[in-house]
Structure 1
């Protein structure tokens, strides 16, 4: 008699999803550092850097959000982890979009709200990346 094991499905990110997720962290962190530098020096170019880094972070975050949605659809409904990860990614993307709109203002008008939003988005993407990539290391199977 042949014994077959039931298939196990993991809701870990694919390699491309992991690259998009991990690539978002330095982009939003760079925007935060550019905002801090602009706040200290008032050199307009730092505000431009923050705007471009935020826009690039939104592209990566949007693609990661798409992958998270696909993983959410494919995941087992018993585990709440993909739902929490998707919601964290969605909140990060929405706040990043608001941050991009704030940075679209005149450079001096974007302070201090742009700096505060950049800090919030950076903390959120770090938590989101931790949540999304933790399952890769733990080897949990669903």
Structure 2
């Protein structure tokens, strides 16, 4: 006789959606570390690395954002406040990430220290967005 646990951990979003969302994390971490390396060494190439890592993260995040909004608007899913909080977190991460990309597009000297601070903020937002993507109340699944 097989038994199942009702409290087992399940992925509540589509696996591809989770992959798109989680793929932003190492890129944003790399951007933060590149900004830190520039602030220590003043080698301009570190800002270039950070800029490219942010653009790569925004590509993944843009696809995840599109998926998140479409999933929230689907009629066959229950609409609750938690799902829209998840959408808001992903939108906030994308907006701060885009502002971070614009700051990194400036001259290397002009990008600091705002670039480092924005990279940290966008990393924290990305972590909260990923956490919300794995949490039932935010992903819109009924208990």
What interval of TM-score do these two structures reach, taking the shorter chain for normalisation? 0.7 to 0.9
Instruction: Return the TM-score normalized by structure 2.
Output: 0.85
Say whether the 8 Å CA contact 1:71–1:82 is kept in structure 2: no
Unpaired runs of 5+ residues, structure 2, are 1-10
In the TM superposition, structure 1's runs of 4+ consecutive aligned residues that sit over 6 Å from their partners are none
What is the alpha-carbon root mean square deviation over aligned residues?
A: 1.9
The 10-residue stretch of structure 1 (68-77 or 80-89) with the greater mean CA deviation from structure 2: 68-77
Which residue is equivalent to 1:126? Answer: 127
Written as runs of structure 1 = structure 2, the 5 A alignment for 1:1-142 is: 12-74=12-74, 75-77=77-79, 79-135=80-136, 141=142
* Structure 1 residues not aligned, in runs of 5+: 1-10
> Partners in 2 of 1:22 and 1:141 — Cα distance?
23
Shift of 1:134: 2.5
TM-score by length of 1: 0.85
